[in-house]
A = this chain, B = another copy of it.
């Protein structure tokens, strides 16, 4: 079996360079020099973000096809640019591969990175590969946004509606299935679990949701360009912890109606009702957008979302800071804020 030891250090980045030839953004200097050189448009602000995926914490290579790992390493960064209302532009990639990594797996990671970059109009302009004890992927992504156009976490005001895109809890359901032995094989077919055809369809959707999330780049961009969102954050750690961040940055409180939370159909089909609600409230990695907007813009927001064929739901309202963050359950009672979420240093068990 060909392992990565046969590729010399530059091999992975060279492969990315070859695969990236048809990219949209043409750098002045691309892969192959000490640094890339870009001609960024003069009137924009430059957004800059980075996210790291590391084996045993964010994924296990045994359960994660290389193609999807490459895609996800870019997706988590695309989601950050989306949450600022920006357009992703160019990125660099740092990868540490254990020596035992199969060359085919590394090539799949490269292909996944390039696929996702092309899909979202991003060019990979540089990178660094080296040997590493555990598989690590770090992407740093540049985006562009109009002056004054970036949507911050800090703009939520009392009386704003609280909105979320897509469905929540699907990624957590998918992670639970991976832990129980589910695998995505060739052609993204689900194996490893005995399920009825109906449940199998949901299970495959949940696992794909976890391994191959779709960053809401166009919707975030639409909210940024129109100025509809007063504040925004992407849901990487979970609805509750990320809402806390948004409220903290805005100096605000919030009320969330449990009944209004769009629970992922797969989570609903595969989990008990209470667990599905918990997954939606504190499960991470859905990479949907949580944002606030003035109540009178609700119809407009729904129209934008419909054009992009993305569900959007109003799940609550921004309150004064002193009211804190409250969740109203179906019985009309406040429930204590669930604890947890995917903050890596707070949970003692690994995430897979």
Complex Cα spacing A132 to B43, Å: 39
If A56-B133, A126-B48, A128-B52 touch, does A7 touch B345 (CB 8 Å cutoff)?
yes
Does A2 have its Cβ within 8 Å of any Cβ on chain B?
no
Stretch at the interface among A33-41, A164-172, A198-206, A319-327: A33-41
Chain A window 91-129, contacts with chain B (Cβ cutoff 8 Å), 1 for yes, 0 for no: 011111001000000000000000000000000011110
Complex Cα spacing A127 to B51, Å: 7
In chain B, what residue has the closest Cβ to A150?
A: B37
Decide: B143 and A140 in contact? CB cutoff 8 A: no
The smallest C-beta distance from A218 to any residue of chain B, in angstroms, reads 16
Contacting residue for A8 out of B40, B153, B346, CB 8 A: B346
Decide: A28 and B131 in contact? CB cutoff 8 A: no
In chain B, what residue has the closest Cβ to A42?
A: B42
Interface size class of A (residues with CB under 8 A): 35 or more
Stretch at the interface among A14-22, A82-90, A266-274: A82-90
Chain A window 47-74, contacts with chain B (Cβ cutoff 8 Å), 1 for yes, 0 for no: 1111110111110000000000000000
Decide: B96 and A54 in contact? CB cutoff 8 A: yes
Does A142 have its Cβ within 8 Å of any Cβ on chain B?
yes
Contacts of A40 in B (CB 8 A): 40, 46
Decide: A48 and B90 in contact? CB cutoff 8 A: yes
Decide: A46 and B46 in contact? CB cutoff 8 A: yes
Complex Cα spacing A83 to B145, Å: 29
Contacts of A50 in B (CB 8 A): 92-94, 126-128, 138, 140
The smallest C-beta distance from A46 to any residue of chain B, in angstroms, reads 5
If A33-B152, A33-B153 touch, does A54 touch B133 (CB 8 Å cutoff)?
yes
Does A134 have its Cβ within 8 Å of any Cβ on chain B?
yes
Within 8 A of B (CB), among A227-245: 232-234
Which residues of A are in contact with B by a Cβ distance under 8 Å?
A: 4-5, 7-9, 11, 28-29, 32-40, 42-43, 45-52, 54-58, 79-81, 83-84, 86, 90, 92-96, 99, 125-128, 130-134, 136, 138, 140-143, 145, 147, 150, 152-154, 232-234, 249, 343-346
24 A–B contacts, CB within 8 A, in A order = A9-B344, A29-B150, A32-B249, A34-B49, A34-B233, A34-B234, A35-B49, A36-B48, A37-B84, A38-B45, A46-B142, A48-B92, A48-B142, A50-B92, A50-B126, A50-B127, A50-B128, A52-B138, A55-B133, A56-B132, A56-B133, A57-B131, A94-B94, A132-B134
